[in-house]
Amino acid sequence: MIKAGIIGATGYAGQELTKLLNKHPKVIIEFLSSNSYSGKPFSEIYPHFIGIIDKVLISTDDALKKIPDIDVLFTALPHGTAFDFVKKAFDSGIKVIDLGADFRLNDIETFENWYKTKHTAKDLLEKAVYGLPELWKDNIKGSQIIANPGCYTTASILALAPALKLKLIDAETIIVDAKSGVTGAGRKADIPLLFSECGESVKAYGIASHRHTPEIEQELSKMYGSKVQITFTPHLIPMQKGILSTCYAQIAGSYSKEEIHQLYKDFYKDAPFVRIREDYLETRFVKDTNYCDISIWTDKRTNRLIVTSALDNLVKGASGQAVQNMNIVFGFDEKEGLC
């Protein structure tokens, strides 16, 4: 058994992570932390956990002191706020999985430009591993700091990685059109996220400026072997959970849909949470699961590849992936607590 602590346990990703770890057969939750609700039982904030998870929430100051007592720390915090906790965990020899954006980008200047926040843990950036198990499992195994990918990024990278790695597409023609449920914006009071504001409506936002763009480009460039730039447009959909990403690019050659489909299946043959499908995807098919479904289409008329991917933004796009990374780091079955 390993002991885990969660900082930011009452956000949407944090509560999903708490639920998953509470059911994990090899994990004991040592502490749950939340500054907003410190001193209150977790089940008071989320009443569906009454009698299941009644642990009292502690402050982040108290959590910082308890880090040396655990085996793995999860930080589920807004960008720019995890640095001190990750430093403390690293110095204490504790594994840390950061669900935020603070350690995802390899270049500190890129981080500060896109997030408008000063990075105060530059020395730890080179020690952090991007935690997308389907691509970097071997690196994750021996790492102490795991940068858990975002939801849009996971869906987009998994959809395009095989095509770029195998040079199936023209890398200069990539367009990603992605749609997310409202929980992707976090648990906060914000007028555009109110039901009466976002219900019965769809909107594009962060056009040509969304902060997940450099993260997607960074990992796709590693796959391709040279710099990749994309056009990325996210949309807000009036549903609670889910990501649907539709990716377009010119095919570099004369590959058929069947050939590309098989190449994708071969690429992900050892990835238990990627399902290559032959039908139209819907977010409800992956809701509350750690799966990323991918479907491949070709447009013969325009010679374009169209890849769709779907996942639950709070599970495979956040907390489920964090548990998957934890399983890999500690040598558990990758699917433990997730199937």
Instruction: Let me know how long the chain is.
Output: 339
Kindly report the pTM of this predicted structure.
Answer: 0.95
Q: Is 316 left (phi over 0), alpha (psi -120 to 50) or beta?
A: alpha
- The whole-number mean pLDDT for each consecutive block of 10 residues of the chain, a chain of 339 residues, reads 97 95 98 95 96 97 96 95 96 97 96 95 94 97 96 97 98 97 67 64 92 97 98 92 97 94 98 97 97 97 97 97 98 96
Instruction: Give the homologous superfamily in CATH for domain 2-126.
Output: NAD(P)-binding Rossmann-like Domain (3.40.50.720)
Q: Which two tokens mark 38?
A: 């410190």
Closest by CA to 316, choosing from 151, 183, 153, is: 151
Task: Identify the pLDDT of residue 200.
Answer: 74
Helix (H/G/I), strand (E/B), else coil: 53: coil
- Is residue 151 part of the annotated active site? The answer reads yes
Can you give the pLDDT at residue 233? Answer: 97
Contact 249, 312 (CB under 8 A): no
Q: CA-CA distance, 333 to 187, in Å (whole number)? A: 31
Which pLDDT belongs to residue 193?
62
Fold type of domain 151-313? Dihydrodipicolinate Reductase; domain 2 (3.30.360)
Domain ranges of the chain: 2-126, 151-313
Q: Which is catalytic among the residues 151, 198, 247, 292?
A: 151
Q: What is the per-residue pLDDT for 191?
A: 61
